[in-house]
Structure formats: C-alpha cells, structure tokens
A and B are shown apart, each in its own frame.
Chain A
Amino acid sequence: MLTKKSVTILVIIAIVLAGITIAIQFSNTEEVSTTTPVTGNSIKGSSVGINILPPQVEDKLTSGEQS
C-alpha cells in the first residue's frame, strides 16, 4: 500500500525526471539551418595621375651660338 507521503515523493520525482527527459530530448534536436544567399558590392577607388608639361621645343641653337 502506498501512503500519501510516498505518493507525494513519487510524484515529485516523476515530475523532475519527466522535466529532465523532455529537456534532453529538446537539446538533442538537430536544428536545420537555412542560409540565405548574401549578395552585395564592394566598391573601392584609386587614382592615376600624370603631369603633362608643354611639348618640348627643339632647340635650334648649336654649340657656340648665342641666343
């Protein structure tokens, strides 16, 4: 014969164990993740520079001449 006290203890133990069991079941569940393709742009800039001087004019002078 089960006494009220023993039944109470059994119920408490049952609730605790049931909770643990449920928690373990959920923790073992493998999550299926989905990946949303990521799209985007990366934009970078740089520069090219040059200094263009006036065209060279051929020097008509020859050695010994004075301008």
Chain B
Amino acid sequence: MKINITEIIGYFAIAVILISLFSIGTKITGFAVTDNETGVVNVTISGSGALNFTTAILDFGAGAVNGGQAGATINSEGSQGEGTWAAQNGQLVLENIGNVNVSLTLSTNKSVADFIGGTSPTFKAKTTDSASNTGACTGTETFSSYATINTTLQTACSVFGYSSALDEIDIDFELYIPNDATGEKTVGIVAIGTYT
C-alpha cells in the first residue's frame, strides 16, 4: 500500500480545523463548572496613607499671666485661666486623606521646657472627632482627654479612619504658663500615620 503523505497532511489539517472549531469559545477547565461565561475585570488599587492638617496653625496670641499668679492655664477651647490672653476657640484639624486606615501618633518637636520655659510648665493635647466625623478615631486614644504631649511618640488613634465623614479629628491644646516664662514661643506638632 502506497502512503500518500499529501493526503495524510490533508486529513491532519482537517482534524486540526475540526478541533479548532470545536474548541473556539470554550475553556479548558478539566470539568465544566458552569454554562455561563464570566468576564473578569482586574484592577489594582494601591493602599496609600496620607495625612493633612487642614488647620495647621494655632496661635494663642499675646498675653500675660495675671499679677500675683504663679501661672496661667489656657486652652484652645476658650479658657484663658489666670491670664490676659484672648479666648482661643480654635484647634488644629487633622484629616486622613489617604485610602487606608492609619495608626496615628502625635508628638512635639521640642520639650515643654524648651517650648514654654519657666518653672514647671505643662503642655497637653486632646483629640476629638471633628463635627460630623464621629468614629474617625477609635482604638487606643491616649489623648481622649487632656494628656501631656511631648517628644515621645504617643498613639492618638490606633485606628484613624479614611472614609469620607469619618476621617477628621480636632486637636486641642492646654498650656500652663508659669509667671517666669516670657517671649514668643512656637512648638511643632508632628503627626505620623502608619499603615499596613
């Protein structure tokens, strides 16, 4: 019997055509799991943490300790204690503008002695959720009431949210200014958001 290689190639090509026509539109899965085809859209969204002080400067202005007083306690919620500073009703406002929850720590860039000076000054901070942002700061909250803030990193919120309307906190400050402190004073507040 004479083998016709041309015919063999031809039949092989026909077989390939038939298999291809049968296979087009099907998926090789081993087992048919569904009759429906499902489209897949892949998108990669990278997590990114970012903080922003929407109010970055708090200035108590000029004032003095009242005569005869050892010192004055003032805060950013309108209390000027035993001093002549104008009532300050403002605070720093910090927003999580990223797309992940962050663990927020707050600290200062100098000690209270370097900031205010004098005899036994104190500098305290308090964090609260901004208006209409209830739940922005949850978990460990070192500054839920006035607590000393210094150069040591302290957790203000172990979970600082990013969702809209849940991503903003107010930071109030309270100072005790001894009567032997004078001069223009400034301290930096450092907010660090750590995310995983």
Binding site for B on A (CB under 8 A): 1-2, 4, 6-7, 10-11, 13-15, 17-18, 20-21, 24-25, 28, 30-31, 33, 35, 37-58
Contacts and interface: CB of A to CB of B under 8 A. Distances in A.
A43 B14 contact: no
Contacts, number: 181
A51 B88 CA distance: 13
Given A10-B14, A25-B27, A44 B52 contact: yes
B177 interface: yes
Contact of B53 (A2, A31, A44): A44
B24 A43 contact: no
A31 B173 contact: no
Contacts of B7: 1-2, 7
Nearest to B44: A33
Question: On chain B, which size bracket covers the interface?
Answer: 35 or more
A33 B183 CA distance: 59
Contacts of A17: 16-17, 20-21, 24
Contacts of B89: none
Contact of B58 (A13, A24, A37, A47): A47
B13 A49 contact: no
Contacts of B175: 50
Given A43-B191, A48-B60, 13 more contacts: A2-B7, A6-B10, A7-B7, A42-B98, A45-B56, A46-B56, A49-B185, A50-B60, A50-B116, A50-B184, A55-B69, A56-B66, A56-B84
Interface string B159-170: 000000000000
